[in-house]
Structure 1
């Protein structure tokens, strides 16, 4: 059986630029959520977000490329560069058709396209950038990474809101199994301009106060921006090229879709979990930690808690949601949790969930709070749910287990 392993990580997160900075912030409980600074949030009901504050696009993107790209694409290009460096991969040393790119994006180039629409309305069509033809598009991150590194293998772009990033990684594993040697994969998102912010608030799940997943006072989530890009390789190919590290293997993946509202059928998250575990060849007792979707909405949190209790038993597995420190990053959220899961395996530690004071007793979950929990982690389950019914689950395992 072909084994897909992760050999490189690149992170752009509200609480850390680069993998190790993000990881230290996560273990230390350093919050990346604050008052919005990119525009004046005073007229809006919610005013806090997980912004990436210290990212200087000019340090990562050429002068020629800057006018062509939205901030989300700049995040993706920088994270991909960091992941390739981390994996010690030089794309020029590989066959171009043996390298693929599979990313996810939930918003496209929101900030870019809204700026161009303002030009259209206020100045006229002759002032709209020619790059509007592609900079807004959901597939632009896949395309720009592919062009930048000469990766011409079969590539994809997936759209499934918060679940999309895990779907991208699952598809990357499928691409490896189909014979491609290396895939750059993951997801990033950003929609922190006034129009993008209004669009997020219209969904009705954004909290005006705090992001407290699984808490008795949960009132919604705080949006964020950023995400993670990973290098995934076939294990034998990675060893042949002499890779110095393997963070872990992608051993299980599944996606499901919820029934229509009002249906008598249950939500499909539990089935996604069970299918992913079956794909990995694991029993529930072998899972050491679950990185939860953690919607921050009391009804959705209860749904997830019930699915976890049904599969693992009441408080049967440690559960964590480090995204409480970054906000929900849409397509970037799942890949960032996968990074955290891989580092949990590496360092034998489960990060704590911030901002949670009291978990309702009927949730029956063992939520890691307060301080990180130090223990061996061999298998981690990562979950993500997207609005309108998307569910995705990935199992990450220590190599050799």
Structure 2
């Protein structure tokens, strides 16, 4: 399996150059087998909508899924808000034999994968097992499952700890469970780079298609809304302690005070364009046209972030110039220092207010590895419907950032979108999606 956190090798559409940009020899639209990677199926499980079309309707309407934490009593914690996925009935989506051996994140991933395959019109039994792969992202593994088993250990002893803990906690378990459930025995893996990992998974999936794989399930899913998961995040100092759901997560705003955690993500079906057309895929949402990843210098080095290099590298890999990008789906940390750095990279590439910038995650929080795949899915739907989704609750954008922030749904002619993601520890990733 591929774990980005351990392998700092090539992470663009070819060899990564020392500048963080894709090298001139890197393939852009065509991989080694001449395959253009397209998305044919979407499955979203997000706090503001369970299922792709429900999430899309809520997003266009500006409906937020951020609210008081209800999955446990958070009254004793300084952070009491989160983006929770509501209305998810496990028994309706997950086989009964899998329920006791899976964490909530895996249960959401299994459901989202089913939706994505149905949306793509794919019956895995009609494919050779070794022609299908699974590449997902995850940040923390099955935290909630692990907390329950630790409670059993402390309260009752080791004989009461479930044998399923041996794998249910593991960050690669979503890939494994999806592979087993759908008989996908081809090249598979997991990427671990927090929010950036969701785009890395798509980049790795695209690479597998270039080697001749016919279909890859890809994306990311996280769900760590439990006391242990929250306590693990508090020391970072990045979480907003605002009690008002409408004021807690305000990236690029003068009142920005930190991040809001969320759970969920998206699973996508990726195929070579020619193969998808040949089998009569009902949807060709768009092409993954370019991808690039960089790493920031060590803290205290005095050197700048390499986020701009990732963005330029993704455009280079897609064979595009900045003026061909119609919208940017920003990473949008909500932490002023990080927002300032991202705004600087965007204006350096596109010019002041040179491109519309949107932050749909203001409606559901930061979903760790699941956030960027949701952004990609929403970007593809934006291209399909010709509308840029809004960034809600941002009422006082920081003027010095000089961003064209989209705060209400904006009709537009869209062909190309750039999705940006950054992960804790210095990970930067950018991905270009383009209409077919």
TM over 0.5: same fold? Answer: yes
Q: Partner residue of 1:230?
A: 268
Q: Partner residue of 1:202?
A: 235
Distance 1:22 1:42 in 2: 29
1:274 corresponds, among 312, 320, 325, to 312
Instruction: Give the 5 Å matches for 1:2-401.
Output: 2-209=35-242, 210-369=248-407, 371-399=408-436
Q: Return the TM-score normalized by structure 2.
A: 0.91
Q: Deviations over 1:111-169 (max 9, x none)?
A: 00110011011100000001011000010000000000000000001100110100001
Distance 2:147 2:208 in 1: 34
Distance 1:79 1:39 in 2: 24
Distance 2:315 2:144 in 1: 38
Q: Deviations over 1:204-224 (max 9, x none)?
A: 101011000100010001100
Distance 2:367 2:85 in 1: 11
Q: CA deviation at 1:7?
A: 0.1
Contact between 2:149 and 2:162, CA under 8 Å: does it hold in 1? yes
Distance 2:425 2:283 in 1: 38
Q: CA deviation at 1:197?
A: 1.0
Q: CA deviation at 1:360?
A: 1.4
Contact between 2:50 and 2:86, CA under 8 Å: does it hold in 1? no
When the two chains are superposed, the root-mean-square deviation of aligned CA atoms in Å is: 0.6
3-state DSSP of counterpart to 2:236:
coil
Aligned length: 398
Distance 2:411 2:117 in 1: 29
Q: CA deviation at 1:263?
A: 1.5
**Unaligned residue ranges in structure 1 (runs of 5+):** none
Q: Deviations over 1:55-103 (max 9, x none)?
A: 0111111111100000000000000000000000000000000000000
Contact between 2:216 and 2:271, CA under 8 Å: does it hold in 1? yes
Q: Deviations over 1:340-363 (max 9, x none)?
A: 100010000001101111111110
3-state DSSP of counterpart to 2:303:
coil
Q: Deviations over 1:243-278 (max 9, x none)?
A: 121000000000000001111321010000000000
Q: Return the TM-score normalized by structure 1.
A: 0.99
Distance 2:84 2:384 in 1: 27
Distance 1:305 1:394 in 2: 17
Distance 2:397 2:290 in 1: 29
Q: Deviations over 1:261-303 (max 9, x none)?
A: 1113210100000000000000000000000000001110000
Distance 1:54 1:391 in 2: 33
